[in-house]
Each structure stands twice: as structure tokens, then as C-alpha cells.
Amino acid sequence: MINYPIRLAVRADENAITQLIERSVRKLSIKDYTQAQIEGALKSAWGLDSQLIDDQSYFVVEQHKQIVGAGGWSYRKTLFGNNDEAARDSSLLNPEVDAAKIRAFFVAPEYARRGIGSLIMHHCEQAARKKGFTRLELMSTLPGKPLYQRHGFIAQSAVEYPLGNRLTIQFIPMTKTL
């Protein structure tokens, strides 16, 4: 396994992260979602939430001076979505009763299944523990479910998320006890 450099994302990374997200989703989600679902989700459900960068809870993995993976965790109530998501809630979570959120994991298609997602997950879990959280939750895409299951997340019943124009996309809520 290659030792990939990982660091906290900074605002200067936003364009590179957005490009990574779009490439990742368009290539790695095509077997599970239609093109219309992918493009619709890129407008709301998928994308960069810069609050994670500001909170210093979003990580990037680099290879050859390019960001090839990104993902993070949050101590805020928003479970998923990008900067434009109307339902964002930046209220703080209470680690004594709430689960930290695992958020926005994306890997460059040419680096998929090389341990980058696992590396980011390890850093997220460590950071959440350090802040006192004992549980995690996330909203998984269909292609992301195997990664999260390998890390001990338990899948709940799938949900349909509205994308507009009578279009929906299926996601899977998942939870884990640390």
C-alpha cells in the first residue's frame, strides 16, 4: 500500500476539491445512478461544504501535487449536502448525545480502491474521538456503501432524496459506534 500524504483542507483547495468531486461522481457512480441523478445530485446533495474546511475537519490526500481524495467529519447537525443545500443546519452537536457526521468522501477515479477512503476515515474517526464523540453517522451513496461497511458502519433502510423535477436519488443512512 502506498503511503499517501494527508492534510487538512484549506480554502485555497476549494476549486481542486470541486473538480475532484465532479470527476469522482461522474465516473464512479455511473453504475448505480443515472446521468440525470448524478447531475441533479451535484447541484445539492453532493459537493463541497466549505464549513468543513473552516471547521478544520475536512482532509485531502495528495499525489503528484494533485488532490486525489477528500473527505471529512463534522460536529454540526448537517448530515450531507453542499454549500447551496437549503436544509443545512450549522448548529453544534453535543458529543454526549449526538453522533458526529462523516461527510463528503470522494476519490479520483484513477485512485479508487487504493486505500485513500480508508486513510481519510481513520483520520476522521480519530478526530471525532478526540472531540468526545462515541458514535458516527453518515448518508452513503450506493457506490460508497462497501467502504463504510468495511469500517464497521451498519446500513439502515435506503431513503429516496428529492432532486427536483420529480427526480430522486437513493441514499443509505449508516451508523457506527466508536
Q: Which residues of the chain have pLDDT under 70?
A: 1-2, 86
pLDDT at 165: 86
Class of domain 6-177: alpha beta
Q: DSSP of 26-56, one letter per residue?
A: HHHSTTTS-HHHHHHHHTTTSS--HHHHHTT
- Percent of all residues in the chain with a pLDDT value above 90, rounded to a whole number: 91
Our measurement of the distance from residue 88's CA atom to the centroid of its chain's CA atoms, rounded to an integer in Å, reads: 15
pLDDT at 11: 98
Neighbours of 26 (CB within 10 A): 14
Q: Find the distance separating the first CA and the last CA of the chain, reported in whole Å.
A: 25
pLDDT at 77: 96
Task: Using alpha carbons, select from 108, 127, 126 the residue that is nearest to residue 60.
Answer: 108
Q: Which residues contact 128 (CB under 8 A, 6 or more apart)?
A: 73, 75, 100, 136, 178
In this prediction the pTM is 0.95
pLDDT at 2: 67
Can you give the residue ranges of every domain in the chain? 6-177
Please name the amino acid found at residue 8. Answer: L
